[in-house]
Amino acid sequence: MQLTITNLSKSYSNGVKALDNVSLAIPPGMFGLLGPNGAGKSTLMRILATLQEADSGSAMLGTIDVLKQREDVRKVLGYLPQEFGVYPRVSAYQMLDHIALLKGVIDDGERKALVDALLQKVNLWEHRKRRIAGFSGGMKQRFGIAQSLIGDPKLVIVDEPTAGLDPGERNRFYNLLTEIGEHVVVILSTHIVQDVQELCSNMAIINKGRVLFAGSPHDALAEVKGRIWERRIEKGELDACRSAHRVISDKLIAGRPVVHVLSDSPLEAFVPVPPTLEDVFFSHISGSDRVTNP
């Protein structure tokens, strides 16, 4: 089942245009939606999860009209929001059992088998009797995935899932998502480039409500191949460097700025470096900022 989003737009009452004619074709597998804070990712995720209305445009999941057939979408949707808000003081087992009942798994035996299987899948079986409120960030995220998988979803939406996870927890979470992404459309919304680099076969970069790039990470890297130049400078040189070149990023490494510049031709004192997805991301973001804030 493919998700096809066409010319989707959404403005808030304060005049912010959170989505501006967004079109994307999302096949089964892991799809990374990458953008800085405020880009419009959550707005798009909430519209697809039927929690918010769009102003115009369409979104089709196979033959289901996502904007109109909300009940049908909810039956095939798994949603892991950025924050659950309050974590209940009941055990992981009780909570999953409760959600499964709400989602219509009425048969006791069937529900027990489902909850047992989910707890094992997300590696929380041994913690099933513990209160969710006492879980670590990674355990909460894995619990979130377990609840999102009840009902055998065809579309799984995961909003900023790795914020606050330590590297070990993040890896376990990545493995779990990859396993799910073999069969269904999984949209992973994130501002963390590494999430997309490690997980996604397709991706889009959005900023200020607009799609700046859509394609595979491989295509994204090919776009800037041979055009990223690096130089280690002194702190005081940063402004001059910015006015002379198209600086896409600067990072302090051992206390000194290392700048990356996008350029089609060689630059004196700069060395060429193989591009990373982070370079692609920053080259698009800095490009779109240039257009709107020259």
Crossing angle between the packed helical segments 217-224 and 277-292, to the nearest 10 degrees: 70
**213 or 270: CB nearest ligand ADP:** 213
Strand partners, 34: 190, 205
Provide the minimum distance between the beta carbon of 52 and ligand ADP in the complex, in angstroms, as a whole number: 9
**Rounded to the nearest whole angstrom, what is the least distance from the CB of residue 54 to ligand ADP in the complex?**
12
Least distance between ligand ADP and beta carbon 53 (Å): 12
CB of 101 to ligand ADP, least distance (A): 31
Helix (H/G/I), strand (E/B), else coil: 270: coil
> 250 and 259 in contact (C-beta within 8 Å)?
yes
Considering the complex, state which of residue 38 and residue 57 has its C-beta at the smaller distance from ligand ADP: 38
Q: Between residues 41 and 127, which has the closer beta carbon with respect to ligand ADP?
A: 41
Amino acid at 30: M
Nearest-approach distance from CB 153 to ligand ADP, in angstroms: 21
Q: Which of residues 20 and 72 has its CB atom nearest to ligand ADP in the complex?
A: 20
Residue 51: what are its φ and ψ, rounded to 5°? -95, -10
CA distance 155 to 60: 11
With a CB cutoff of 8 Å and minimum separation 6, the contacts of 80 are: 141, 144, 145, 147, 148, 156, 157, 158, 159, 161
CA separation for the pair 273, 223 (Å, rounded): 14
* Shortest spacing between CB 132 and ligand ADP, in angstroms: 25
Nearer to ligand ADP, 19 or 118 (CB): 19
Give, in degrees to the nearest 5, the angle at Cα 28 between 180 and 195.
60
**In whole angstroms, how close is the CB of 199 to ligand ADP at the nearest point?**
18
Taking the complex as a whole, the smallest distance from the CB of residue 159 to ligand ADP amounts, in Å, to: 7
Residue 172, exposed/middle/buried by CB under 10 A (0-12, 13-18, 19+)? Answer: middle
Dist CA 84 CA 105 (whole Å): 22
Which residues bind to ligand ADP, rule: CB under 6 A?
12, 14, 16, 18, 35, 37-43
Q: Which strand (E) or helix (H) includes residue 173?
A: helix 167-180
**Which one, 3 or 22, has the nearer CB to ligand ADP?**
22
- Whichever of 37 and 292 has its CB closer to ligand ADP, that residue is 37
Q: Please, which residue, 13 or 243, has the CB nearer to ligand ADP? A: 13
- What is the rounded distance in angstroms from the CA atom of residue 273 to the CA atom of residue 280? 13
